[in-house]
Amino acid sequence: MDLRLNGKTALVTGASRGIGLATVRALTAEGVRVVAAARRPGPEVTATGAVPIAADLSDPAAADHLVASAIAELGGLDILVNNVGGGDSGGAGGFLDTTDAQWAEVVDLNFLASVRVTRAALPALLTARGAIVNVSSIGARVPSGGPIAYTTAKAALTAFGKAIADEFGARGVRVNTVSPGAVRTDLWESPTGYGADLAAAMGVPQPELLAALPAATGMLIDRLIDPAEVATLITYLASPLAAATTGADHRIDGGGVKTA
């Protein structure tokens, strides 16, 4: 299917691995000229043909510089994918184990970084009548499904997307949210990430935890979600084929969330 994206321009944050890297690959395969932003863009990013830009979006000043650099490189901006984030900080501890510093770090990276990048990018997106896709999590709907600071920050990101869609929709900018369930990313698979911490807290080997995770979370498929599957949905939502779709939160969770 031709998504009519050839020649469009995009900025993808958190692009060095997982969903971000898969999204860069999907967009470039459709002929999109992409700036791929990450703290340390690796050779996998360069191999996609995207333009890598190093940006630490935990620094409040980085968003303006990143967006200006992306627009200068691309000559404009049609698509913004706010994928930057992470859920590892704080490990598998609960509310009383989560410090103020951990709250600040997680909320800043998973919510405020996207707020800042969106604010910087909106003038160009308004000119292009472009599209924004925010990557949230089903944890925004099922807050017990992950670290409390992470799921709370993702809930804020989901609400933010709806508010921006409402404010700027009449001016031609579409905003949608994608909320994945358990995806094969470092959050679950890294030996030093949240999945490893959770396995240790439960007293089970990490591979055993991951094998049982789909059934334990109510998923109707017997595996974790592949990052490329999430990237396909993001790419469609960014395309002109989704021109009537805005202000929506799209779950891709293997049927794990049973409510509407």
Q: Which of 26, 38, 67, 150 is catalytic?
A: 150
User: pLDDT digits over 15-30, tens only?
Assistant: 999 999 999 999 999 9
User: pLDDT digits over 200-223, tens only?
Assistant: 989 999 999 999 999 999 999 999
CATH topology of domain 9-183+226-252: Rossmann fold (3.40.50)
What amino acid occupies position 157? Answer: L
User: Residue 226 is encoded by which pair of tokens?
Assistant: 């592949």
Contacts within 8 Å (CB) and 24+ apart, 100-107: 102/149, 103/149, 105/58, 106/147, 106/149, 106/150, 106/153, 107/149, 107/152, 107/153, 107/156
Phi and psi at residue 57, in whole multiples of 5°? -80, 0
User: pLDDT digits over 122-156, tens only?
Assistant: 999 999 999 999 999 999 998 876 789 999 999 99
Residue 150 annotated among the catalytic residues of the structure: yes
Residue 204 and residue 247: Cα distance in Å, rounded? 40
Q: Are 150 and 106 in contact (CB under 8 A)?
A: yes
